[in-house]
Amino acid sequence: MSDSSIVHAHQFDDAEQQHEASWLGMWVFLATEVMFFGGMFLGYTIYRSTYPEAFADASNHLDIWLGTINTAVLIGSSFTMALAVRSAQLGARKPLVRFLILTLVLGALFLGIKFTEYYAKIEEHLVPGSNFSYAGPLGRAAQIFFSFYFAMTGMHALHMIIGLALLTALIVKAGRGRFSSVYNTPVELVGLYWHFVDIVWIFLFPLLYLVGRHLQ
Amino acid sequence: MKSDHVVSIKLYSAIFGALLVMTLATAGAAFIDLGGNLNTVVAMLIAACKALLVILFFMHVRYSSRLTWVFVGAGFFWLMILLSLTLADVLSRRWLPTVVG
């Protein structure tokens, strides 16, 4: 697809090389994101191995059904994002805008459910700090679990919010017809980012919500 | 261009369906006491399978250039260094008696 009609920056031989460079650049960024979240997963693993009973007990205070529904919602948004990228590749403008909006709506729904859960945790005094209260002898270690819960889901939610901003920009550009079957790199790269955020949640869900169900 | 491979809606739908089934499977398996650490092992195996499907198909890595594979693999490899070397230290500390002074 080395179509000479596609504009490319002067440091590239052709549009194809430019496209490949964009993809590799995005993957390098995602590798740094893997390291960023990896540190938190590592800290979680160390403290969970130190206080296994408290992590199992504290995990049961999370709403497993809201967690499962939210996982399905986020996977659904990844599905619609994949279809948006497909529409962009085919140069189908209206389906592209439609799938991007659908992805945005599902992403917002995920955050809505997440913040409902946060609100419940505030009401139950499960936010680490001076208002934290937890019945039983496991309270101190349970506070560590909830520190990880809020740090990891909070960082994930921040990535979702950034994703929603990127999607909004894409919807505006797609509506103006900026993307075609030959040029759609921004749609593909935001797609990669969105799927990455989905993968982080795929691991957060069992590690935070499913630790101690079988012990109840 | 390889990375511009257009995946069929049918395949995307099949991946989506598989991801939903695995989500229900992992939530269901969490209620069954498999004994020992097996619950965690099963949950992480299912999560790894889900992540692999997303990476290979939704993120188009299956259809990407060899160089992309190297970059993706490097990210995973460095994560494994981070996890394995740190845990090898932290988890093995308790095997030895603590010497004070």
Domain ranges for chain A: 35-215
Same domain, B54 and B82: no
Nearest to A47 by CA among A128, A130, A147: A147
Provide the 3-class DSSP secondary structure of residue A198.
Answer: helix
Asked whether the CA dihedral A171, A172, A175, A181 is positive or negative, the reply is negative
Same domain, B30 and B3: yes
- Report the alpha-carbon distance of residue B60 to residue B70 in Å, rounded: 14
B76 contacts in chain A (CB < 8 Å): 34
User: How close, in Å, is residue A176 to chain B by CA atoms?
Assistant: 22
Instruction: Tell me which residue range forms the domain holding B82.
Output: 65-95
Query: Are A215 and B30 contacting, i.e. CB atoms less than 8 angstroms apart?
Result: no
Nearest to A196 by CA among A62, A1, A3, A29: A29
Residues in chain B: 101
**What are A195's two structure tokens?**
């799927």
Asked whether the beta carbons of residue A86 and residue B9 sit closer than 8 angstroms, the reply is: yes
Nearest to B29 by CA among B7, B46, B52: B46
Provide the 3-class DSSP secondary structure of residue B16.
Answer: helix
Residue B35: pLDDT band (50, 70, 90) is confident
Provide the 3-class DSSP secondary structure of residue A21.
Answer: helix
Q: B interface mutation test: which of A8, A86, A199, A215 has the most B CBs within 10 A?
A: A199
Asked if residue B39 belongs to a domain, the reply is yes
B27 contacts in chain A (CB < 8 Å): 64, 67-68, 210
Same domain, B70 and B44: no
Same domain, B21 and B44: yes
User: How close, in Å, is residue A71 to chain B by CA atoms?
Assistant: 7
Same domain, B54 and B83: no
A188 → chain B, closest CA residue: B59
Asked if residue B21 belongs to a domain, the reply is yes
Same domain, B35 and B48: yes
Same domain, B47 and B6: yes
Nearest residue, CB atoms, B6 vs list A20, A81, A89: A89
Nearest residue, CB atoms, A79 vs list B12, B31, B72: B12
Asked if residue B100 belongs to a domain, the reply is no
Asked if residue B13 belongs to a domain, the reply is yes
Asked whether the beta carbons of residue A210 and residue B39 sit closer than 8 angstroms, the reply is: yes
Nearest residue, CB atoms, A27 vs list B31, B40, B71: B71
Q: Give the A:B interface size as CB pairs under 8 Å.
A: 137
Enter the DSSP assignment of A59. H
Same domain, B15 and B33: yes
* Residues whose CB is less than 8 angstroms from the CB of residue B23 and which lie 6 or more positions away in sequence, other chains included: A68, A71, A72, A75, A205, B50
Same domain, B36 and B55: yes
Same domain, B58 and B69: no
Each residue's pLDDT expressed in tens, for chain A with a length of 216 residues: 444 456 788 999 998 899 999 999 999 999 999 999 999 999 999 999 999 999 999 999 999 999 999 999 999 999 999 999 999 999 999 999 999 999 999 999 999 999 999 999 999 999 999 999 999 899 999 999 999 999 999 999 999 999 999 999 999 999 999 999 999 999 999 999 999 999 999 999 999 999 999 987
- Report the alpha-carbon distance of residue B27 to residue A148 in Å, rounded: 21
Same domain, B59 and B82: no
Same domain, B9 and B52: yes
Name the CATH superfamily for A35-215.
Answer: Cytochrome c oxidase, subunit III, four-helix bundle (1.20.120.80)
Residue type, A72: A
- Report the alpha-carbon distance of residue A118 to residue A107 in Å, rounded: 17
ipTM of the complex: 0.93
